[in-house]
Structure 1
Amino acid sequence: VTGEIRNAINMPSLDAAALAAVGPYLDLARALGKLLAKLGPDNPDSLRVSYHGPISKKDTGLVSRSVLTALLEASRPDGQVNIVNAPAIASQLGLDLVESVINAKTEYNELLVAELSKGDERYRVAGTIIGRSPRIVEMDRLYVDTNISGNFLIVRNDDRPGIVGALGTLLGNANQNIANLSLARNKSLGVALTIIELDDPLSAELMTAIRAIPGVLSATGVTL
Structure 2
Amino acid sequence: MAPKVLISDELSDAAVQIFRDRGIDVDFQPKLGKDKEKLLEIIGNYDGLAIRSATKVTEKVLEAATNLKVVGRAGIGVDNVDKEAASKKGVIVMNTPFGNMITTAEHAIAMMFAVARQIPEASASTHAGKWEKSKFMGVELTGKTLGVIGAGNIGGIVCDRARGLHMKVIAYDPYLSDEKASKMHVEKVELDELLRRADFITLHVPLTDATRNILSRENLEKTKPGVRIINCARGGLVDEQALADLLKSGHVAGAAFDVFAEEPATENPLFGLPNVVCTPHLGASTTEAQENVALQVAEQMSDYLLTGAVTNALNMPSVTAEEAKVMGPWVKLAGHLGSFIGQMTDEPIKAINILYDGVVAEMNLAALNSAVVAGIMKRANPDVNMVSAPVIAKERGIKISTTNQDKSGAFDGYIKVTVVTEKRERSIAGTVFSDGKPRFIQIKGINIDAEVGAHMLYTTNEDVPGIIGALGMTMGKAGVNIANFTLGRAAAGGEAIAILYVDEAVNEAVCKALKDTGLFQQVKPLEFDVN
Aligned to 1:35: 340
Question: Distance in 2 between the 1:181 and 1:74 partners?
Answer: 24
**1:9–1:84 contact (8 Å) kept in structure 2:** no
Aligned residues between the structures:
222
Alignment of 1:167-182 (within 5 A): 167-182=471-486
Q: Is 1:22 paired with 2:327?
A: yes
Structure 2 counterparts to residues 186-197 of structure 1, below 5 A: 186-187=490-491, 190-197=494-501
* TM-score between the two structures when normalised by the length of structure 1: 0.92
| Cα separation, 2, equivalents of 1:141 and 1:31 | 17
Alpha carbon RMSD of aligned pairs, Å?
Answer: 1.8
Higher strand share: 1
Alignment of 1:4-153 (within 5 A): 4-40=309-345, 42-77=347-382, 79=383, 81-103=384-406, 105-119=408-422, 121-131=424-434, 132-153=436-457
Unmatched segments (≥5 aa) in structure 2: 1-301
| 1:200 maps to amino acid | E
Whole-Å Cα distance in 1 between the matches of residues 375 and 452 of structure 2?
A: 13
Task: Tell me how far 1:119 sits from its aligned partner.
Answer: 4.0
Please name the residue that 2:3 is paired with. Answer: none
SS in 2 for 1:137: strand
**Partner-residue secondary structure (3-state), 2:526:** strand
1:111-141 superposed Cα distances (whole Å, 9 cap, x missing partner): 1111111146111111111112221111111
What amino acid maps onto 1:88 in structure 2? V
Deviations 1:77-98 (CA, angstroms, capped at 9, x unpaired): 3x2x222121111112121111
Other-structure match for 1:166:
470
**SS of aligned partner of 1:45:** strand
CA–CA separation in structure 1 for the residues paired with 2:482 and 2:469: 13
SS of the residue 1:31 aligns to: helix
Cα distance in 2 between the residues matched to 1:134 and 1:149:
10
The range that moved more, 182-191 or 160-169, is 182-191
Residue 154 in structure 1 maps to residue 462 in structure 2: no
Deviation at 1:100, TM superposition (A): 1.0
Deviations 1:148-175 (CA, angstroms, capped at 9, x unpaired): 2321111101100012211211111111
- Counterpart residue type for residue 329 of structure 2: P
Note closer, same or farther for the CA distance 1:129–1:48 as it changes in structure 2 (3 Å cut): same
Q: CA deviation at 1:23?
A: 2.1
| Structure 1 position 39, deviation (Å) | 2.0
Q: TM-score normalized by structure 2? A: 0.40
| Structure 1 residue 212 displacement after superposition | 2.0
Percent identity of paired positions between Structure 1 and Structure 2: 24
Give the Cα–Cα distance (whole angstroms) in 2 for the partners of residues 102 and 156 of structure 1.
Answer: 30
SS class of match (2:428): strand
Unaligned segments of structure 1, at least 5 residues:
none
The answer on whether the counterparts of 1:41 and 1:122 sit within 8 Å (CA) in structure 2 is: no
Please identify the structure whose Cα radius of gyration is greater.
Answer: 2
Q: Distance in 2 between matches of 1:159 and 1:104?
A: 31
Give the equivalent residue in structure 2 for 1:212: 516
The Cα offsets for residues 49-102 of structure 1, whole Å up to 9 and x where unpaired, read as 11000221222111110010111111123x2x2221211111121211111114
SS at match of 1:37: helix
> In structure 1, how many angstroms separate the alpha carbons of the residues matched to 2:489 and 2:385?
36
> Aligned pair in 2 of structure 1 residues 120, 52: CA closer, same or farther (>3 Å)?
farther
Greater Cα offset, 141-150 or 175-184: 141-150
Distance 1:176 1:162 in 2: 19
Distance 2:345 2:323 in 1: 31
Greater relative CO (CA pairs within 8 A, separation 6+): 1
The Cα of 1:44 is off from its aligned counterpart by 1.0
